[in-house]
């Protein structure tokens, strides 16, 4: 087989079926940062019980979430405050997650992502669905 024929065959199979491997996101890339944020969200949600996550789901659905504050004047709260109303400040968050440094770090990433708008309502809803699916799988 001629090299040119082999090359054309490889290119045409790649175009029809895609590459046989998927490159991991480059460290520091936007995709890697988004993945880190979603992983942090999953870790934090897993640290709370199903009733807490249901309260968060209702707040998300009803517009009861706030950004850039733990609790606003209208009584809306950030993700962490809705999950646990005792979390009303950065100090409260640090004390709450003090026993689990990986969760403290994940909660910091979550707060930054939520307050900056990098974490959307849609991504939060998807994470809540994933957490509920894990609950159902464990219950079986």
Confirm whether 22 is domain-assigned.
no
Confirm whether 49 is domain-assigned.
yes
- pLDDT, one tens digit per residue, over 17-61 is 445 555 566 677 888 899 999 999 999 999 999 999 999 999 999
Confirm whether 6 is domain-assigned.
no
Residue 15's pLDDT band, with cuts at 50, 70 and 90, is very low
Q: What is the residue range of 90's domain?
A: 31-139
Residues facing 71 on adjacent strands: 77
| Whether the predicted pLDDT of 5 surpasses 60 | no
Confirm whether 52 is domain-assigned.
yes
Confirm whether 112 is domain-assigned.
yes
d(CA 135, CA 130): 9
> By C-alpha distance, which of 17, 15, 36, 41 is closest to 25?
36
Task: State the total domains in the chain.
Answer: 1
Confirm whether 25 is domain-assigned.
no
Q: What is the pLDDT of residue 18?
A: 47
The answer to whether 68 touches 119, Cβ cutoff 8 Å, is no
> By C-alpha distance, which of 123, 35, 36, 134 is closest to 79?
123
Confirm whether 14 is domain-assigned.
no
Over residues 69-91, the mean pLDDT reads 96
Q: How many CA atoms lie within 13 A of 75 on its CB side?
A: 2
């Amino acid at each position: 087989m001629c090299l040119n024929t082999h090359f054309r065959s490889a290119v045409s199979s790649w175009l029809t079926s895609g590459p046989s491997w998927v490159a991991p996101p480059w460290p520091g890339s936007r995709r890697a940062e988004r993945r880190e944020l979603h992983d942090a969200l999953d870790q934090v949600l897993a640290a709370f019980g199903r009733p807490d996550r249901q309260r968060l789901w209702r707040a998300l659905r009803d517009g009861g979430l706030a950004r850039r504050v733990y609790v606003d004047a209208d009584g809306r709260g950030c993700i962490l405050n809705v999950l646990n109303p005792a979390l009303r400040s950065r100090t409260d968050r640090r004390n709450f997650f003090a026993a689990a440094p990986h969760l403290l770090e994940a909660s910091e990433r979550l707060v930054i992502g939520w307050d900056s708008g990098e974490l959307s309502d849609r991504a939060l809803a998807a994470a809540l669905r994933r957490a509920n699916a894990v609950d159902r799988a464990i219950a079986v």
